[in-house]
Structure 1
Amino acid sequence: MVSRVIPVDPFDLVIFGATGDLARRKILPGLYRRFCDGQMPPEARIIGAARTEQDSAAWRAQVVEAIETFLPASKRDPSGVKAFCERLSYVAVDATGDAGWADLKGEIRDDVVQAFYFSVAPSLFGALAERLHHFNIARQDARIVVEKPFGRDLATARELNATLATHFNETQIYRIDHYLGKETVQNLMAVRFGNTLFEPLWNSQYVDHVQITVAEEVGVGGRGAYYDKSGAMRDMVQNHLMQLLCLTAMEPPARFEPNAVRDEKLKVIRALDPVPPEHIVRGQYKAGAQPSYLQDVENTASRSESFIAMKLHIANWRWNGTPFYLRTGKRLKARKSEIVIHFKETPHSIFDADAGNRANVLSIRLQPDEGIDLRVTIKEPGPGGMRLIDVPLDMSFADALGPEVADVPDAYERLIMDVIRGNQTLFMRGDEVEAAWGWTDPIIAGWEGRGDRPVPYEPGNTGPEEAAILMHRDNRRWREI
């Protein structure tokens, strides 16, 4: 497969929180990969900004260590790392004070794309936006990138939106959700809207139900203090799974451009029915070879969930009567993320009862092995009459497109380059975030008001038994994790 990498325009990218975990793990190694792939023009520069008092040489040494830690040896080389570091500089700034901002202003050029990545706690978003404005650093066409969590509820999301809107308009704000940068998530849109084979069937007349799963093997680990204040609903459902749901269920946009796509996603969120308590299962992993959730978060009275499964309905013509089942959890059997479309059985079987009746299944695998699998019905080979079986038409990207596809940009790489291009298609709009919280808040308020406790589940399994029962009541079952 021939690479079609097109360099972006020259830019200055300022990373606030440049010494933090996200910058070390994802942002800086990702930028190095874009540099090696020829997407970063010679004039591009990356400026680290944080409160740590150090010079540029010290920060470059930290960047080298991050690249060596988080990228395999096959994806780096000393000369490339050295050339990449020549583009880096560092300024110590006080996010809530005046120190360092004049120095930062002296680093920023006026004749290139300006982007500012807020890789910091949301509580600092407003302070950074204010100082970029006060010190006349950001131009009127500058872009800011903000990480989740974007609010804890509708009220705080509105407050954050209002704070940022004081100094930046909506076309300048890039609310990043790395799930939208995954190759297969974007392929979902290509499968739906680029093939006449699927879109005519993509509705309640032909689709029995949809499953969206994001399963993790790891526990909450070192994120215990944060996670216990959010739980799986706030940490995963309100953003990641909601975005996957929107892309799966939305109407075809008039054009593949930012506002057209985001308008259709917003319609899906606004069409979501309230979810009754009996359609929700919450769980906490128990102790096994590793500590329990309660031990990980150091709170034996915690009522936050590490697992959640839900049955949703979308109140519109396309999806009337078709349930969507969402689940996500930690310390499960395997790491797996997928969207699965279960089509209905044929309305009438011409075969004997012994042949069986089958239904087609389309699965879009997001991780760990990106690809698309369509299960179709055929006759079982051999003598003995007509017996139907399901076989996969499997397209693993690495197999179908060659080994180069295994080295495609990861989500952060792709999304950061989209920021430089000024393409907001894969970023959340402010009203979209608020609509998601508006749907989420009553659900959380309901179980908090009732004093519901998550049910314990065995680690290394598929979650609470109650989640399986949620499906069994509808004569359905979850896909194997």
Structure 2
Amino acid sequence: SVVVFGADGDLASKKILPTLFNLWRRKLVPRDLLVFGFARAPMTTETFRKHIFKCVYHPSQPQGDRKEFLQRCHYQSGQFDEPEAMEALLRQREEAEAARLAARQQPAGSRPQALHFQDRRPASASFDAVGAAAEAGVPEEQDTASCQQMVRELSMLREDEIFRIDHYLGKELVMNLLVLRFANVCFQGIWNRQYIKNVQVIFKEDFGTQGRRGGWVARARGVRHLCHQVMALVAMEQPLSFSAGDIRAEKLKVLKCVQPLTLDTLCTGQYVRCGNSPGYLEEPTVVDKQSRTETFAAAVLHVHNPRWEGVPFVLKAGKALTDRKAEVRIQFHNVPGVISDLANSLPANELVVRLQPEETIYWKVQNKVPGLGFETNQIRMDLLYATKFQQRKLPEARAAAAYERLLLDVLAGQSSNFVSAEELIHSWAIFTPVLHQLREEKVVPEPYPYGSRGPPGADELASR
């Protein structure tokens, strides 16, 4: 059984519920799976099923699958801090599971263990305290202190029962970073400060808030999450194994080597109207029309260890930019002692790992242009995932959606692709001082037009 809290929200509607349906349809979870939605919105189970129908509908899929799946979905409304509402949810779950058990015609002693999220409060709150697995989305902490408070509140569960999910960690190319680095000898000798000039981690979106809560969608949280996830994967040393403990240990070492961010190494921005595209402060969801909420942030961090000393890690995240893109760009130093004939035509080599929209890895290298002359040009050597692997026929070769992979990891108890509490706390330690400084000094973000590359200050920061 799976309980989805905030079942009527944006994340559940766009990601979690469709993912559960796809896993069920592909028989990657039991066919008698039960899904329980819980949210504040007053609605019946029947209304909730209609909502799910809209979330999972696709004309190419058989209608019978949808109908059967919807019958396995149930709903309970209530406030999250109301014990009565939680008790009603648990009663509904127990009744549905009892009916499922009877349908299986199994004796009670052979009942399989259910996967669900249950609060481990004292018995006076009328919650059972049995083993559980909790899948948590990106939490709404504000600084190190609030992060530590949330960790304490979740201490009712063991750390190996908590899966802090960010769907980018389930992207095929993010997972391939470790294979790219540690399974190819050609990268082992050049993955250091002697050869790498800078590393850029870029997450761009070409749309604004789109009706989502203005104060939640921005701040520098995007850059923070990039720090303790993708950046750490790029900079970490080789783990002893690909187990969760070994990978998390190496990522944590990276975060401990990063000094807290300062205003001198940060640029923030807020998009303004351009043509028919409204600015952030014009969005109907933004109540405070004097808001200093950032919709863009660029930061330069340094990992102070022997491998990366002096190499800037430039992290950028923003909304309402030129295009939608998520990628890691590793730029190398220029060729030392280059032949004079080539000196004016050798841009830097780059290794680009693009996570979206087109999953690809490519090298930017120099090549002679065919012809009688001696002209060089930079070209791309591509590995396009869609092209390379489209001929594979095995079902498991399908490029699974990130949430499908991550939810299956949750069900299997595999936490390698999730962030630990220690990682989260050390990541906040990097950003908390500057976030407090931004608030206390009332720093106004630099305006940039909707659909542009971002504020000019970001380019100036990256060029230092």
TM-score (ref. length: structure 1): 0.86
Query: Do residues 149 (structure 1) and 139 (structure 2) align?
Result: yes
Query: Do residues 282 (structure 1) and 268 (structure 2) align?
Result: yes
CA distance in 2, matches of 1:321, 1:417: 39
- Residue 440 of structure 1 is matched in structure 2 by 431
CA distance in 2, matches of 1:457, 1:420: 43
In structure 2, the CA distance between the partners of 1:422 and 1:102, relative to structure 1 (3 Å rule), is closer
Q: Is the 8 A contact 1:105 1:135 kept in 2?
A: no
- Residue 104 of structure 2 is matched in structure 1 by none
5+ long unaligned stretches in structure 1: 1-11, 118-127, 474-481
Residue 221 (structure 1) shift:
2.6
Q: Is the 8 A contact 2:228 2:251 kept in 1?
A: no
Residue 428 (structure 1) shift:
1.1
In structure 2, the CA distance between the partners of 1:262 and 1:104, relative to structure 1 (3 Å rule), is farther
CA distance in 2, matches of 1:139, 1:269: 34
Secondary structure of the residue aligned to 1:324 is: strand
Aligned pairs (5 A) from 1:32-431: 32-52=21-41, 54-68=43-57, 72-74=58-60, 76-97=61-82, 98-99=84-85, 100-104=88-92, 106=94, 107=96, 111-116=112-117, 128-130=119-121, 134-140=125-131, 142-165=132-155, 167-227=156-216, 231-234=218-221, 236-288=222-274, 289-296=276-283, 297-350=286-339, 352-353=341-342, 356-385=345-374, 387-402=375-390, 408-431=399-422
CA distance in 1, matches of 2:25, 2:64: 10
Residue 412 (structure 1) shift:
1.6
Q: Is the 8 A contact 1:26 1:412 kept in 2?
A: yes
Secondary structure of the residue aligned to 2:197 is: strand
In structure 2, the CA distance between the partners of 1:274 and 1:241, relative to structure 1 (3 Å rule), is closer
The one-letter code of the counterpart of 1:204 is: R
Q: Is the 8 A contact 1:210 1:323 kept in 2?
A: yes
- Residue 458 of structure 1 is matched in structure 2 by 449
Q: Is the 8 A contact 2:226 2:315 kept in 1?
A: no
Q: Deviations over 1:44-92 (max 9, x none)?
A: 3222233455554433222112212xxx433x32122123224323344
CA distance in 2, matches of 1:209, 1:410: 30
CA distance in 2, matches of 1:241, 1:327: 10
Residue 315 (structure 1) shift:
0.6
5+ long unaligned stretches in structure 2: 99-110
Q: Is the 8 A contact 2:215 2:293 kept in 1?
A: no
CA distance in 1, matches of 2:90, 2:304: 53
Q: CA RMSD in A?
A: 2.4
In structure 2, the CA distance between the partners of 1:183 and 1:346, relative to structure 1 (3 Å rule), is same
The one-letter code of the counterpart of 1:427 is: F
Q: Deviations over 1:129-187 (max 9, x none)?
A: 538994454522x101111224211111111111110x211111111111111111111
Secondary structure of the residue aligned to 2:444 is: coil
CA distance in 2, matches of 1:395, 1:440: 35
Residue 201 (structure 1) shift:
1.4
In structure 2, the CA distance between the partners of 1:439 and 1:472, relative to structure 1 (3 Å rule), is closer
Matched length: 442
In structure 2, the CA distance between the partners of 1:95 and 1:454, relative to structure 1 (3 Å rule), is closer
CA distance in 2, matches of 1:353, 1:145: 54
Q: Is the 8 A contact 2:303 2:309 kept in 1?
A: yes
Residue 104 (structure 1) shift:
3.7
Q: Is the 8 A contact 1:47 1:91 kept in 2?
A: yes
- Seq. identity, %: 33
In structure 2, the CA distance between the partners of 1:359 and 1:83, relative to structure 1 (3 Å rule), is same
Secondary structure of the residue aligned to 1:174 is: strand
Secondary structure of the residue aligned to 2:121 is: helix
